[in-house]
Amino acid sequence: DVKVTQSSRYLVKRTGEKVFLECVQDMDHENMFWYRQDPGLGLRLIYFSYDVKMKEKGDIPEGYSVSREKKERFSLILESASTNQTSMYLCASSFGGITTYTFGSGTRLTVV
Amino acid sequence: AQSVTQLDSQVPVFEEAPVELRCNYSSSVSVYLFWYVQYPNQGLQLLLKYLSGSTLVKGINGFEAEFNKSQTSFHLRKPSVHISDTAEYFCAVSEVGNQFYFGTGTSLTVIP
């Protein structure tokens, strides 16, 4: 089975800190995605990547950036964390074409 | 862009009763349809998917869904629910290309 691993399940950071959320997949998937999940809003796409060093903005990229230096790793960066970025963050990956996403277990980030 | 509507944000149901979770999408072009389940404090797991072929799709844990092209719907059903089915359920739609569009989720609560 494909595994998508997010490095932290729970994270608490202070306002203004730079935050790194890491995601690693072990099945050579081309595509990787970062979503945030909030009650009543479902999943919203932040950034995605179809290949190494490629990145595309999703629906809500403001306040975030990403890095994909290696195919298996996709990092989400909060340059200066704010309280409105408190959320559940989900990473997903897939092969090219119309295929199923595989999700990580999520990182619940609290910014205080 | 697609829009995915899950009309019911919360569905309470008694144990062993049947349940239907509704999903409608906006586009009439060729789409691929998915249902994911999220148990508390976990990531999303694939329940079932429709890519082509028979419009009645069977998934894991006794769930099934029916693709109705004329009504642009993909409702999820289970004839008899268990306590362990208590979770958040997300409908997702994908067009040509890789981006998924998710609904806002339906919280299913099974009452003993």
A94–B103: do the CB atoms touch at under 8 Å? no
> Is A61 in contact with A47 (CB distance < 8 Å)?
yes
Check residue A39 and give its pLDDT. 87
Phi, psi of B60 (to 5 degrees): -80, 165
Rounded Cα distance between A16 and B49, Å, is 41
Question: What DSSP string describes B38-92?
Answer: E-TTS-EEEEEEE-SS-SEEE-GGG-EEEEETTTTEEEEEESS--GGG-EEEEEE
Residue B109 or residue A101, greater confidence: B109
Mutate to test the interface with A, among B23, B57, B102, B107 (most CBs of A within 10 A): B102
Which residues of chain B are modeled with pLDDT < 70? 28, 96-98
Q: Within its chain, how far is the Cα of A75 from the centroid?
A: 7
Check residue B97 and give its pLDDT. 61
DSSP tag of A50: S
Instruction: Please write the tens of the pLDDT for every residue from A22-77.
Output: 999 998 888 999 999 998 888 999 999 988 989 999 999 999 999 999 999 999 99
Q: Which member of B32, B90, B102 has the closest CB to residue A98?
A: B32
Which residues on B lie below 8 Å from A102 (Cβ)? 46
Rounded Cα distance between B74 and B59, Å, is 13
Which residues on A lie below 8 Å from B49 (Cβ)? 100
- Burial pattern A17-48, b for ≥16 Cβ within 10 A else e, equals eebebbbbbeeebbbbbbbbbeeeebbbbbbb
Q: Which member of A41, A48, A102 has the closest CB to residue B104?
A: A41
Residue B9 or residue A97, greater confidence: B9
Q: Which member of A6, A100, A105 has the closest CB to residue B46?
A: A100
Q: Which of A1-5, A6-10, B54-58, B74-78 is most confident?
A: B74-78
Distance from the Cα of B77 to chain A's closest Cα (Å) equals 20
B43–A108: do the CB atoms touch at under 8 Å? no
What is the band of A2 on the pLDDT scale with cuts at 50, 70, 90?
low
What is the band of A98 on the pLDDT scale with cuts at 50, 70, 90?
low
**Average pLDDT for A14-29:** 95
Check residue B29 and give its pLDDT. 74
B42–A105: do the CB atoms touch at under 8 Å? yes
Question: Between A and B, how many residue pairs show a Cβ–Cβ distance under 8 A?
Answer: 50
Can you point out the beta strands (E) in chain A? 4-6, 10-13, 19-21, 23-25, 31-38, 42-49, 56-57, 64-70, 73-78, 87-94, 102-103, 107-111
- Compare all CA atoms of chain B with the CA of A108 and give the residue at the minimum distance: B41
User: Has residue A92 got a pLDDT over 90?
Assistant: yes
